[in-house]
Structure 1
Amino acid sequence: MEMFEQQKVFKVADYIKMGEFLNMFTFRVIWQALLPVQEAGSNELFTATRGLLMILYEMDSRRPYTPPDHWLIKEVKASSFLVDLDKGKKTAMFILLKMPHIIPFGERVKVFRKTVYNERVSLGLCDSQSTTPQSTLITVHRSRIVEDGYRQLAQQPVRAIKGLIRVRFVNEQGLDEAGIDQDGVFKEFLEETITKVFDPSLNLFKVTSEQKLFPSSTSYIQENYLHLFEFVGKMLGKAIYEGIIVEVPFAPFFLTQILGYGSSSTYSSVDELPSLDPDLAKNLSYTKHYEGDVGDLDLTFCYDEDIMGRLETHELVPGGKAIPVNNDNKIRYVHLMAHFRMYRQIREQMLAFKRGLNSIVNPDWLSVFSAPELQKLISGDTADIDISDLRKHTQYYGGYHNNHKVVNWLFEILEKDFTPTDRAAFLKFVTSCSKPPLLGFAHLEPPFSIRCVEVSDDQDTGDTVGSVLKGFFNIGRREPVGRLPTSSTCFNLLKLPNYQKKSTMRDKLKYAIHSNTGFELS
């Protein structure tokens, strides 16, 4: 209201000018070595200018007010950071951490991935000519995915979780499922675990009015709830570490807390309260701007919470239940109430979650991202699918190849007949995530694949010489009108019947992706 509608104390144009000046000023100080790196953290002028700059940048991250690419500095190349990382230098990384926004997001993701790769090499977690990384094998029953995963992984050393984890699933009949694979089956385990633990019905997490996730303040009813939060943090950290995209939408204020920005002296909970409780934010704004005697509102320094039908009163300050809100202390009340709802109420859960996440992913590596960018790192890009990039990095099985008639039809349908919504549904159908990888499909693990299928899923035993030849040469083929496309999301695999008409494939594919039929996860 004050910044955009009333435009006081400054106009929006003034904020843009301030940001432009401060951005270049702090950049010049570091990049041109006007201030030695070791002194930058203690210099009062640098600390003050950078502090104000980051406030302006974080405001822009919450609600954009600057032109596109306003914060980028053209003379900075991400390639120089990658070179320095290869040489083990820290200066470039220091600059990147101090001013993450001066480099395009995609380039910072490359630096992040390179940093992870370097650590994996140093820990001996990558295949080499002389060594093969050790793996951790866990056995998980389909009906107890979270419980079995927690029991076997929660106490594993961090190095083991960062390394290769192989999963053996046990089906409902108690029989081992075929196949142990470090990429596909583990991806399925990770996705299934994350889906279940973030389900609000479990009461570890709640959703805002915009269906964004944050820790539940009543999660303590779960046994060992803090250990569970730490485990969940580790699993999300593992997904980020491996570059596995998971469609988990977090509340912006929780992302800010994950990054540690909430502990900054310049951070105000009031700014992000609307992302948690817009109604409370409006009420506090009304209290702040109330022109009469605030005492008429009959408020005290406490918050009443309904916990399963029982009213529990939380005091914002000691004895707050007996302290009335008046015109002199209303600003303090507004900030304390926002701080309680945004931080104090879920502090233990948030700290446990961060402890797990940061044990896998160094918090300094994540500090190069803003809260919205961290969400992209977790859940992928919001842009439309680049069909040419997808086709370029697709693998084929069962006789299909890049110039096969059915494959040509598929990509024509995706590009010309499908809407962006259809394309997102298609990607979710095959990979379990509707968003493309941040750096393109070359970085999708496992690679996107298409396989020609001959029989129903329950009869499918894999490719044979005969099936591959039939798929390749299109031998003895009838229109498979009774078959829908299916998918193995754990392997990012589309199982596509060898349709004889493009129109049939288009209709079947559209039906499958929008009705969620045909999923075969295991």
Structure 2
Amino acid sequence: MSGQPDDTHLLLELLARIVARNPDSILKSLVQYYSVLSHIDCASKVSDAALAATSRAVLVPLGAAPADEQYLLHAYEAFALSFLTTPDLHLVERHTQVFAQSLDSDLLASSITKAYKEGHIDGVNREGQLWLLAHFVGLSQRADAGSQGLKRLDALHLQLSSLSTEISVRMSVKPADSRPSNADLSGSEDHLLQSLPSYVAHQLASLVDKDGISVLLAELTTNFGVKTTNGDIESASLLSGYVLTLLRCFPNHGDEIRMRLFLGDVPSRAGSLPTIKFLWQAMSQTSVYVQVLHNSASAVELLKTYLSLSAPASSAQEEEWRLVLLFLELYIFILRLSDDEDFFSSIFPALLKSNDQPSRLRSCGLLLQDVTKLTIVLKHLAFALHHNASDIQQGSINHDRSSFGQLEHYFGAQHLKASREAKVANERVNAALTRLDLGSLRGIVTTALRLLYERDSRRPFLPKDHWLMTSKFDMEGFVSAVVAEQERRQNEEGSDSDDSDGDVDEDTNIGGVNSFIRTLAGHRVSRHAQIEKLRAQQRKAQRDRMLAVIGPKLEVLRHMHFVIPFDTRVQIFRQFVHLDKHKRREGMDADQWRMAMLHDPLRSPGRGPAGRHHGKIRRGQVFQDAFEQFFELGEGLKEPIQIQFVDQFDTVEAGIDGGGVTKEFLTSVTTEAFSEMDGISLFTANSQGLLYPNPIAMDELREALSKAGIPGNSADWQEQVQDLLRQFEFLGRIVGKCMYEGILIDIAFAGFFLLKWISGQTGENSYRGNVNDLRDLDEELYQGMLRLKNYSGNVADLSLDFTITDQVSLPDEPVRTATRNLIPNGENVAVTNDNRLLYISYVARHRLVAQPAQQTAAFLRGLRSIIAPSWLSMFNQNELQRLVGGDSSEIDLEDLRRNTVYSGLYEIGDDGSEHPTIQLFWRVMVGFSDGERRDVLKYVTSTPRAPLLGFSQLSPHFSIRDGGEDQARLPSTSTCVNLLKLPRYKDQETLRKKLLYAVSSGAGFDLS
């Protein structure tokens, strides 16, 4: 036909006239009719006359007035499924505006919705469905404004939900060099590696640009807000479902979508409301929210219903859940953007001056009573999702089956049989409901809850015991019950993968640090690797479900530890360590284990565990010697180690305890490693003296190697980089070893760094960083970001872009810097009033996450090889600091006295009376200030803080031994065994002066 354009033109004109006169004549042939027209339209050579005639032929059935009322719906469905599914349509793609004006966009939307819900779309391959979606987007955006409405949104929602996986992955793939535009890729094993056709990609991208989101907010304005009809919830729910689907389809545009919603307003009787306030008002009136708020037991049944396959597609609860989930999505985004001043100005409006105009962030905050209620609802939902996961999973969507089905579909497995195909339509409708699976729902609820908890733990604003849920458990037997669950888990798993030292993934995808964005499509990895990745994800999901069944209390402790009192969690932690030691050493204590290893006839001298656990350490090079001798142990550092300190002549120091876990060694390693070192420092301190990994350590090393002329791709370069990372890893193990042995170290870490310890469950690190944490890193930068956030002028005038400048030079050398993008193409993206909050967020994440990523990953890998991530996750950042360094509360002198051991002449005799010098010592201690008592405690034990559960937990116990009769002699100590050697002073004043002098001058083991 393309070779005879005149004949084609005449035939099409004739066809159009016949159909116009008698529309019913093609009722049974509409599919074939539009299929033929689509082939003519997309022909490579077609005359203008033929194209015009084709247009008339296409439109005639759609504008007819037939006797059958259902005719038009059938005609539009055939037009959609047989015409718009064809690639490269000239009429639709090149003459969109004219063509769209002749269509009834509501009828087109209704026909597509009908095709999806009734399964008619199953006859169209996935590529055709993508073209249908793209053509529908193009046509509906150019239709009359008055015809736009919820029908269009419903059709978009259904299509996007069904195609979300293809869209999210293929939008990330760069266009291939060449690909037939009409190729059927649905059966190809490389389907996921195909980029979207440029027209399809352009139309889909228009859904999330500024205009696309503006249209969405216009729907909010048009359909509800000022109304109070019963249809409000349904309309809001549809819009919520649509936005959630956009976030699923366009993960790389997630922050942009959320930002545009955050900046949007919705009209109400009280005036325009920020979108988040509108969603809060709608969500807080839903039965889901109200039921959970007033009856925590209702959470389980509500969640069962939501996750159930049998739940009706249009249930009221389904509509309400969409509102709840969109509110949480946007509220999480706002919490991450808000600094503490924004947050507290919202919950305590009285803090604002009467003449202050609240910023956008502050106008989006919730009042204290609202935040309090929200935390209660989130707490009950999260508890049910973690503690009652096995009950909720019964009858829920079978994600093993569906995920494996996806794997087969995308990677070309050919054994999808009829039993599966019969469920396709039902599963597609369920997908369109935007239901999350159990893991995703648990993730969003727990994230929102933890963000609010972290805010409260940093600056308390909720009642003291607000977070506790002890009434849910039998607390008398709670510790033993948790330990029993842990044993069952270990037995079930064989080897607990939670204790593995897998790579730490510093994923900063949410935040735009391009160098750390890793997507399946972006890597273009092999098909086999992709399949293995999906299978690994399935195995992990299966394992998580299994663990939830056998350890519900453990799941609560992992994900919402704050519902259990701190002291109880400390007891559990120590019990976990004890259980691990018992398992690793087969029930033997440290000395028995060492002797067993020494006398093992199957091991060569010096080659067995006891030999590898022995080290000779030089003073002044403690960290380096320890690193060289013990790094290869890996998690074997958990076992007892034997240390000998030697002087510069290799002579063993007198009086150093050579057996057992040497506290002196561990505290010396940490003291040296966390201090300023020659060359590149591993850690650095903020203005409050709080430590965190040196963020420029890797840049400093690369600069030094470049100056030395070492090529960047050489083996020497790589070895030195890896050696530095191994030092970070080893230091992580040493800190873990101290925690494992209950040895307190006088080190204080920055809060944002401690948050990273608890942000991963296995090998990952889910910490994202925010502007509040920036304050712990760099107060000056934090204040600068606040000034930018509150700048009243035009931010564009400041000439900022989405880049950041990092120092890369060595200490004491002229400063050299490198400019790095915060987002792809960041040097060409200006910072404006609208996007400055994202810029501030990306700056914070770069400084807190991306820049120190390798150093942090290595440290955490070492720490987690000794202390399981699930153990660390039982504490918040402040509690972790107490676990590392002890209790900072006032020294309990009576507790210390009760748990002090006396030896030599000071040993208490049968009469139960203390030696006179001991009595003098305690009188002096009573007279000391708390600071002086801490100095004495540090002098003897190397840390100024008490163990978390009191001095009964100090190992070895605080002890005092006779130090001779010489009244001029100073007290001395052996910190490795917490021993104070106290001369037999005759009067209280002499004892007080000598003790204070020894403490202040640092008199140690051999000083007399």
Distance in 2 of aligned mates of 1:313 and 1:29:
44
State the match for 1:259 in structure 2.
758
Q: Which amino acid aligns with 2:367?
A: K
Q: Is the 8 A contact 1:485 1:508 kept in 2?
A: yes
State the match for 1:496 in structure 2.
982
State the match for 1:216 in structure 2.
694
Alpha-carbon distance, 1:343 to partner:
0.8
Distance in 1 of aligned mates of 2:759 and 2:442:
20
State the match for 2:961 in structure 1.
451
Q: Summarize the Cα distance change of 1:115–1:420 in structure 2 as closer, same or farther, 3 Å threshold.
A: same
1:54 to 450, 455, 473: 450
State the match for 2:1002 in structure 1.
516
Alpha-carbon distance, 1:328 to partner:
3.2
Q: Summarize the Cα distance change of 1:290–1:166 in structure 2 as closer, same or farther, 3 Å threshold.
A: same
Q: Is the 8 A contact 1:397 1:452 kept in 2?
A: yes
Matches within 5 A, 1:177-192: 177-178=653-654, 179-183=656-660, 186-192=662-668
Alpha-carbon distance, 1:390 to partner:
1.3
Alpha-carbon distance, 1:517 to partner:
3.2
Alpha-carbon distance, 1:165 to partner:
0.3
State the match for 1:22 in structure 2.
378
Q: Summarize the Cα distance change of 1:516–1:177 in structure 2 as closer, same or farther, 3 Å threshold.
A: closer
State the match for 2:652 in structure 1.
176
Q: Summarize the Cα distance change of 1:58–1:150 in structure 2 as closer, same or farther, 3 Å threshold.
A: same
Alpha-carbon distance, 1:68 to partner:
2.0
Q: Which amino acid aligns with 2:695?
A: S
Q: Is the 8 A contact 2:734 2:863 kept in 1?
A: yes
Q: Summarize the Cα distance change of 1:150–1:233 in structure 2 as closer, same or farther, 3 Å threshold.
A: same
| Partner deviation per Cα, 1:312-351 (whole Å, 9 max, x = no partner) | 3222234433433122322221111111110111000000
Is 1:117 aligned with 2:578?
Answer: yes
Alpha-carbon distance, 1:129 to partner:
12
TM-score by length of 1: 0.87
2:826 to 306, 317, 320: 320
Higher relative contact order (CA 8 A, sep 6+): 1
3-state SS, counterpart of residue 946 of structure 2? coil
State the match for 1:81 in structure 2.
479
Matches within 5 A, 1:404-483: 404-415=915-926, 417-454=927-964, 480-483=966-969
State the match for 1:474 in structure 2.
none
Q: Is the 8 A contact 1:143 1:172 kept in 2?
A: no
Is 1:107 aligned with 2:568?
Answer: yes
Alpha-carbon distance, 1:126 to partner:
4.7
Distance in 2 of aligned mates of 1:25 and 1:318:
37
Q: Summarize the Cα distance change of 1:286–1:115 in structure 2 as closer, same or farther, 3 Å threshold.
A: same
3-state SS, counterpart of residue 805 of structure 2? strand
Q: Is the 8 A contact 2:674 2:682 kept in 1?
A: yes
Distance in 2 of aligned mates of 1:78 and 1:151:
46
Alpha-carbon distance, 1:251 to partner:
0.8
2:672 to 193, 196, 212: 196
1:66 to 462, 465, 472: 462
| Partner deviation per Cα, 1:458-486 (whole Å, 9 max, x = no partner) | xxxxxxxxxxxxxxxxxxx6xx4422222
Going by fraction, where is strand more abundant, 1 or 2? Answer: 1
Is 1:311 aligned with 2:817?
Answer: yes
Alpha-carbon distance, 1:124 to partner:
1.5
3-state SS, counterpart of residue 3 of structure 1? helix
Q: Summarize the Cα distance change of 1:519–1:98 in structure 2 as closer, same or farther, 3 Å threshold.
A: same
Which ranges of structure 2 fall in alignment gaps of 5 or more residues? Answer: 1-340, 348-361, 397-435, 489-550, 598-609, 702-719, 909-913
Matched residues, percent identical?
33
Matches within 5 A, 1:278-357: 278-306=779-807, 307=809, 308=813, 309-357=815-863
State the match for 2:729 in structure 1.
230
Distance in 2 of aligned mates of 1:515 and 1:173:
26
Q: Which amino acid aligns with 2:478?
A: S
State the match for 1:241 in structure 2.
740
State the match for 2:874 in structure 1.
368
Alpha-carbon distance, 1:55 to partner:
1.5
| Partner deviation per Cα, 1:191-231 (whole Å, 9 max, x = no partner) | 11111111134511111111111111232345421111011
Going by fraction, where is helix more abundant, 1 or 2? Answer: 2
Alpha-carbon distance, 1:33 to partner:
7.4
State the match for 1:144 in structure 2.
621
Q: Summarize the Cα distance change of 1:420–1:83 in structure 2 as closer, same or farther, 3 Å threshold.
A: same
Distance in 2 of aligned mates of 1:446 and 1:36:
47
Q: Summarize the Cα distance change of 1:129–1:199 in structure 2 as closer, same or farther, 3 Å threshold.
A: closer
Greater shift, 163-172 or 509-518, is seen at: 509-518
Alpha-carbon distance, 1:240 to partner:
0.9
Distance in 1 of aligned mates of 2:938 and 2:591:
39
Q: Summarize the Cα distance change of 1:35–1:274 in structure 2 as closer, same or farther, 3 Å threshold.
A: farther
Q: Is the 8 A contact 1:141 1:148 kept in 2?
A: yes
Distance in 2 of aligned mates of 1:126 and 1:172:
39
Q: Which amino acid aligns with 2:467?
A: W
Q: Which amino acid aligns with 1:95?
A: V
State the match for 1:205 in structure 2.
683
3-state SS, counterpart of residue 314 of structure 1? strand
Q: Which amino acid aligns with 2:556?
A: I
Which ranges of structure 1 fall in alignment gaps of 5 or more residues? Answer: 455-476
Distance in 1 of aligned mates of 2:755 and 2:558:
16
Q: Summarize the Cα distance change of 1:31–1:319 in structure 2 as closer, same or farther, 3 Å threshold.
A: closer
Distance in 1 of aligned mates of 2:951 and 2:381:
38
Distance in 2 of aligned mates of 1:163 and 1:130:
11
State the match for 2:216 in structure 1.
none
Distance in 1 of aligned mates of 2:685 and 2:837:
28
3-state SS, counterpart of residue 305 of structure 1? strand
Alpha-carbon distance, 1:70 to partner:
2.2
Q: Which amino acid aligns with 1:144?
A: Q
| Partner deviation per Cα, 1:392-414 (whole Å, 9 max, x = no partner) | 22111221035111112212222
Q: Is the 8 A contact 1:29 1:35 kept in 2?
A: no
| Partner deviation per Cα, 1:475-520 (whole Å, 9 max, x = no partner) | xx6xx44222221112111111101001211222223223333454
Q: Is the 8 A contact 1:381 1:436 kept in 2?
A: yes
Is 1:5 aligned with 2:345?
Answer: yes
Distance in 1 of aligned mates of 2:582 and 2:627:
27
Q: Summarize the Cα distance change of 1:386–1:520 in structure 2 as closer, same or farther, 3 Å threshold.
A: farther
Q: Which has the larger radius of gyration?
A: 2
Q: Summarize the Cα distance change of 1:481–1:143 in structure 2 as closer, same or farther, 3 Å threshold.
A: same
Distance in 1 of aligned mates of 2:999 and 2:592:
42
State the match for 2:891 in structure 1.
385
Q: Summarize the Cα distance change of 1:83–1:398 in structure 2 as closer, same or farther, 3 Å threshold.
A: same
3-state SS, counterpart of residue 181 of structure 1? coil
Q: Summarize the Cα distance change of 1:162–1:264 in structure 2 as closer, same or farther, 3 Å threshold.
A: closer
| Partner deviation per Cα, 1:99-135 (whole Å, 9 max, x = no partner) | 2111111110110111111111111165269963433
Distance in 1 of aligned mates of 2:592 and 2:937:
36
Distance in 1 of aligned mates of 2:775 and 2:977:
39
| Partner deviation per Cα, 1:356-406 (whole Å, 9 max, x = no partner) | 111111111111111111111111111112222212221112210351111
Q: Which amino acid aligns with 1:315?
A: N
Q: Summarize the Cα distance change of 1:290–1:382 in structure 2 as closer, same or farther, 3 Å threshold.
A: same
Q: Is the 8 A contact 2:967 2:983 kept in 1?
A: no
State the match for 2:972 in structure 1.
486
Q: Is the 8 A contact 2:974 2:1004 kept in 1?
A: no
Count of residues paired in the alignment: 495
Distance in 2 of aligned mates of 1:273 and 1:334:
10
